[in-house]
Structure 1
Amino acid sequence: MTQPIYKTEKRKARVGERILITNVNVMENRYKNGAVLLVGSLRGDGAVYDDLGRLVYLEEYEVIVGEHTPASNLDEMDCDELIALSEAVMKALRTRSYKLGYDQGRLEAPKSDQQKRDEIVAQAKEDVETLKMRNRLSKAFNIEIVVNSESRSVEATAKVPNSRKSFYGIAKCAPDDCFNVHIGKAIALRRALGLEVPSEYLNVPQPTEVRVGDVVEYTTYRGRKSTFKVERVENGKAYKDTVSGTYVRLNAGRYHGYPATDTKTIDDSRAGEDE
């Protein structure tokens, strides 16, 4: 089978990146030149430990930043390779067809800010679970994530096992932004692990819809700020509870018959909700 060609950079690797062994130490026999390893943890001087716990020195590797597989010579391929190639081609065609249809749909119906935010929140949830899973496999760190709802912040700690060494990452919501714990966890954990934070996490659109489980803030007719957790949304009203019937009228900015202004969602984490 045709081997991929890697594009590399000569620099210090970060956790989660792949490295290509290009100059194996003469004293090492645990891997060979051309081996591709996954970085599980860092030693601090450019040396890294792979996901199997093997030490790799800085001068031995380059960081993989891209790859491509050259076109295969069909005459030299056996039956199994031809089958694998045909399946890969069909998969690529299906993916391309889906993307073309998806792109066409985007042109016909641009996504709303709420749809974009929903997708980024879903991405952040998956991101956190993926990073945790990789860490469990590599056993590089003991990870702890602490959420402070009052300060609207998240702190992640990545502690090196059997060591006093720890790495920290903090995500704090801006005063005028809506707090979302899932995005905060993804940002804090990536910072603790020394990984790049995707720009969409830092520039996520604000919510435009109010949903059950959201925390809504509004200004009462007396000029005071007040908040409550939404238990029900119905006919343009966000209800505080079903017993007193207290609500904010979303489309008119009124609070239970009295004037209210600046209605907005300040926390759409919906902790404990299905979403």
Structure 2
Amino acid sequence: MVSSVLDEGIKGYGNGWLILHHEYEVIVGEHTPAPNLYEMDYDELIALVEDAMKAIRTRSYKNGYDQGHFDAEIEAAHGTYEKSDQQKRDEVVAQAKEDVETLKMRNRLSKAFTIQVIERPKSRSVEATAKVPNSRKAFYGIAKCAPNDCFNVHIGKAIALRRALGLVVPSEYLNVPQPTEVRVGDVVRGRMAFSMDTYEETVGEIEDGKYKYIGGDFDYTEDADLVIIDDSRAGEGE
């Protein structure tokens, strides 16, 4: 146990040892215990959520600044860099996933609503309900994909949940670019080679120059004329 801290090092009790400052490294400092959410009152929870959201916004701003600085360096070295429609869509999907988790976290802490989100991929829609606890009062939100657009359940959940909670829906959710790259897990629509008939398949593998479907059939990647109709990729870590 340390008795005193001297200019040249730290000393033990009595005629104990002396360790010079350059001979040791502090590996454990002061530790602030995490707050117990279940023991905090409502106002404290709200303040904690607001502090967390402020920290997230600050971190997002810094990350955006760092990315902007990096992009500027790339532009200076290689010319203007324009993101592809696929990259823009990937960013919106990632934003929607984070948005849904943040909204759910805020609601768990505030206990303002009982939230239910129902995915309806067959009808290419998502429904959300925000019910007031111990009450018949509830708010509803729905997101339905346009016939010619690619359905993405993550964007749909963000739109439906925001509408149920009475929040503004970001314009990028409503004007997201269509996907341009077929990936594993995508649901695609193709056309028969010698007829006007169409088929829908889920891509299970992409290898050996083929799109291999879950059902066992395949298309050659160079010859396939596919339209991506659902890029939610549930179960594929997307």
Q: TM-score, normalised by structure 1?
A: 0.60
Which residue of structure 2 lines up, in the alignment, with residue 205 of structure 1? 177
Q: Does 1:114 align with 2:77?
A: no
Which residue of structure 1 lines up, in the alignment, with residue 223 of structure 2? 252
User: Deviations 1:7-42 (Å, cap 9, x if unpaired)?
Assistant: xxxxxxxxxxxxxxxxxxxxxxxxxxxxxxxxxxxx
Which residue of structure 2 lines up, in the alignment, with residue 27 of structure 1? none
For structure 1, the residue ranges without an aligned partner over 5 or more in a row are 1-50, 54-87, 254-260
Which residue of structure 2 lines up, in the alignment, with residue 190 of structure 1? 162
Match of 1:264 among 223, 227, 231: 227
Q: How does 1:116-131 map to 2 (within 5 A)?
A: 116-131=88-103
Which residue of structure 1 lines up, in the alignment, with residue 212 of structure 2? 239
Q: 1:186 to 1:98 in 2, by over 3 A?
A: closer
State the secondary structure of the residue aligned to 1:185.
Answer: helix
Q: 1:203 to 1:103 in 2, by over 3 A?
A: farther
Counterparts of 1:93 and 1:133, CA distance in 2: 22
Counterparts of 1:172 and 1:95, CA distance in 2: 31
Which residue of structure 2 lines up, in the alignment, with residue 223 of structure 1? 196
Offset, 1:274: 1.6
Counterparts of 1:154 and 1:200, CA distance in 2: 17
C-alpha contact 1:180 1:268 (8 A) present in aligned 2: yes
Offset, 1:96: 4.4
Aligned residue pairs, count: 178
Q: TM-score, normalised by structure 2?
A: 0.68
Match of 1:138 among 110, 115, 125: 110
Counterparts of 1:97 and 1:117, CA distance in 2: 21
For structure 2, the residue ranges without an aligned partner over 5 or more in a row are 1-41, 45-57
Q: 1:97 to 1:272 in 2, by over 3 A?
A: closer
Offset, 1:225: 1.7
Structure number having the greater helix percentage: 2
Offset, 1:176: 0.5
Offset, 1:110: 1.3
Match of 2:128 among 120, 145, 156: 156
AA aligned to 1:226 is Y
Offset, 1:98: 4.7
AA aligned to 2:232 is S
Larger Rg: 2
Counterparts of 2:116 and 2:63, CA distance in 1: 40
Counterparts of 1:203 and 1:216, CA distance in 2: 21
Give aligned-pair identity as a percent.
60
User: Deviations 1:14-72 (Å, cap 9, x if unpaired)?
Assistant: xxxxxxxxxxxxxxxxxxxxxxxxxxxxxxxxxxxxx649xxxxxxxxxxxxxxxxxxx
Q: 1:240 to 1:188 in 2, by over 3 A?
A: same
User: Deviations 1:91-112 (Å, cap 9, x if unpaired)?
Assistant: x999745532234436632111
State the secondary structure of the residue aligned to 1:230.
Answer: strand
Structure 1 runs of 4+ with >6 Å offset = 92-95
Q: How does 1:96-111 map to 2 (within 5 A)?
A: 96=65, 98-105=67-74, 108-111=80-83
State the secondary structure of the residue aligned to 1:232.
Answer: strand
